[in-house]
Amino acid sequence: MAGGIAKTGNFNQNLAMKFDASGKLLWRHIITNNYVPAGFLNVFATNNSTFVGFVYEVFSNSTIPTEFITFDANGVVSSTNPVTNPINSNYVSMDNTGFLIAGNSGNGSEVYQRIENNNTKWTSVFPDNYPSSVTGVIENSDGSYIGISSSLYLSTFLKKIDANGNLIWQKPYMGFDIKAVPGGFLALLGTNTTVQLAMFDNSGNQQWVSTLITPNNVTEPVQNQGYFKVFVLDNTHFAFTTFENNNTLNVYVVDQNGNVLKKVNATPISAFNQVAITATSDKALFIAKTSFSINTMELIKLSGLTN
């Protein structure tokens, strides 16, 4: 697992770390660059033993660069590639030919941006009656994308766009994360008061929806989408995470029909914790939790979720 965070007290450094499957720290390096108060949004491993970290602009009208930073396992930076006309980013993914960045325009419109060969290939903006921001995207085999956005108000925030950023269809759903499965996709739907997992076919038609989870009116789903993720454990078991009013990161496991099989209280948490969650190859969840000041980091592996 590789990730990155801004080093507290110095806005020109990132801290990148890699762990093995048992949580043992393999290496830790400070990656120096200019003005990175948010740290890496994501870090990707390449085929040539290097890593690419995405640093993004987080303040409106700021001079903070949005760029991709390539570094090796010794923390040595080999290149920095700025993004022209950057957007407010919540999501970034890498494929064989480039990157997709998604988020909002700064005035509430959903935005998707495609980067290839260090150049912006296209940017697609989708205005809406309510402020919204893209929080999760999947890429289809034909190069099209399906994305979901969150907002305080329900609107057409589930969208499919083609490989050039043109709208194919849109549906009246909102939420926090999305994952591809055979025959369709899973979407973690929600507002500031409810969360539930839903299965859709590739045309955006809902096939089933899980039990409604009510986080007792906490507003964290809108403010901290990182707590609200969906994972494919295997073909018949899915999981999603929530932050609820008991100040706990909870994991719900559901079957292929949306029935909730179990709930696991994963770890105590607050709005001041930073959390990264990923699924592992052995059907477990790996959670990294830091304090706001990054004084400590806790690594948690949840196994036996499909038993």
* Structural domain total, the chain: 1
Counting other chains too, the contacts that 125-131 makes at CB distance below 8 Å and 24 or more residues apart are 126/159, 126/167, 128/155, 128/156, 128/157, 129/153, 129/155, 130/155, 131/104, 131/107
232 assigned to some structural domain = yes
Q: Which two tokens stand for residue 24?
A: 């043992």
Residue type, 143: G
Task: State the Cα–Cα distance between residues 50 and 76, nearest whole angstrom.
Answer: 10
What integer pLDDT is reported at residue 223 of this predicted model?
44
Q: Which two tokens stand for residue 226?
A: 């990182």
What integer pLDDT is reported at residue 27 of this predicted model?
84
Model pTM above 0.75: yes
Instruction: Count CB-CB contacts under 10 A for residue 26.
Output: 11
Tens-digit pLDDT profile for the chain (307 aa)? Answer: 444 444 444 555 677 788 887 778 888 887 765 555 556 788 898 888 899 988 775 555 455 678 898 988 888 888 889 888 888 888 899 998 999 999 888 777 899 999 999 899 999 999 877 778 898 999 998 999 999 988 766 566 899 999 999 999 999 998 889 999 999 999 999 876 778 899 999 999 999 999 877 765 444 444 455 688 999 999 999 999 987 766 788 899 999 999 999 999 888 876 556 788 889 989 999 988 876 555 677 888 999 999 9
230 assigned to some structural domain = yes
For residue 221, which phi and psi values (nearest 5 degrees)?
A: -55, -35
205 assigned to some structural domain = no
162 assigned to some structural domain = no
Range of the domain at 229: 211-307
What integer pLDDT is reported at residue 307 of this predicted model?
92
What integer pLDDT is reported at residue 154 of this predicted model?
59
170 assigned to some structural domain = no
CB distance 81 to 120 below 8 Å: no
Counting other chains too, the contacts that 89-93 makes at CB distance below 8 Å and 24 or more residues apart are 89/41, 89/54, 89/56, 89/57, 90/41, 90/133, 90/134, 90/135, 90/225, 91/41, 91/134, 91/135, 91/136, 91/137, 91/147, 92/41, 92/42, 92/54, 92/56, 93/42, 93/137, 93/139
88 assigned to some structural domain = no
Q: Which two tokens stand for residue 242?
A: 């929530």
Task: State the Cα–Cα distance between residues 256 and 238, nearest whole angstrom.
Answer: 7
Mode of pairing for the β-strands spanning 184-190 and 195-201: antiparallel
Contacts of 48 (CB under 8 A, 6+ apart): none
Task: State the Cα–Cα distance between residues 193 and 214, nearest whole angstrom.
Answer: 6
Q: Which helix (H) or strand (E) is 301 found in, with range?
A: strand 297-302
145 assigned to some structural domain = no
178 assigned to some structural domain = no
What integer pLDDT is reported at residue 115 of this predicted model?
95
Task: State the Cα–Cα distance between residues 137 and 268, nearest whole angstrom.
Answer: 28
